[in-house]
Every structure is written in structure tokens, then in C-alpha cells.
Amino acid sequence: MGQLALHITMTSRNILTIIILLLLTACSDNKVISVQVSPEKLILENKEIDKVDFEKELKVIVDARKKEGIEAKELTMDIKADKRTKRGDIADIVFSLKRLNIIRTTYSAY
């Protein structure tokens, strides 16, 4: 009987841990906006867009997150840039982020 109760308790703890991890993952992913930049294309949240439309498309995403209760200051922009990308393209993205009040940014190159 004692072993059965211990097994049930461990199972409940595991389920609770999994639920908490899923909630944390869901919340944290919602605060991250991903961008992939290369000389040929720009991908914002898994959608290929024109470089001239970047700020407009980003504003739509930021406004949607605001409706969910997430402020622009809480958002993180994850920028993955091709090594061949021009500095001017990256600068345009950073300038748009500042205009939309997105402060947190992570950069990586591929």
C-alpha cells in the first residue's frame, strides 16, 4: 500500500512538473519574435516578407502581442543573420526595433 501511494505521488509530481514546464515554455515563446536575415530574403516569424515591409509587418506582430497583454519592452527580438548580410540591412532592422520600443535583442550568425 505504501509503495502504491509513493508511486501515485511521484506520478502526480511528474505531471505537475510537465504542466509547469509547458506553461513556462508557452509564455516565453510568446515573448520572442524571430527574424532570419540573408542577402536574398527576410523571414519574420516563419513568413518571408519584403525588406521594405519589415517595420509594418513587425508592428502587426507587436500590436497582436499587446492585445495578449505583453508590452513591447518585454519582447525579445531573436535575429539570425547570414554572414553575407550587409550591415545596412541589420541597421535598418535595429532602427525599426527602436522605433517600436523593442529593447531586448539577441544576435547570431549562420
Of residues 23 and 58, more confidence is placed in 58
Query: If DSSP codes are grouped into helix, strand and coil, which group holds residue 58?
Result: helix
- Contact of 96 with 62, CB cutoff 8 Å: no
Clarify whether residues 25 and 59 are in a common domain.
Answer: no
pLDDT beyond 50 at 46: yes
Strand ranges for the chain from DSSP E: 32-37, 42-44, 47-49, 76-81, 104-109
| C-alpha closest to that of 52 among 63, 41, 62 | 41
Could you report the per-residue pLDDT of 50-108, keeping only the tens digit for each?
999 999 999 999 999 999 999 988 999 999 999 999 999 999 999 999 999 999 999 99
Specify the CATH number for the domain of residue 87: 3.30.420
Q: What is the pTM of this model?
A: 0.69
Cell representation of residue 92:
535598418
Could you report the per-residue pLDDT of 3-16, keeping only the tens digit for each?
555 455 556 677 76
Domain count, the chain: 2
Q: Residue 2 belongs to what domain range? A: 1-29
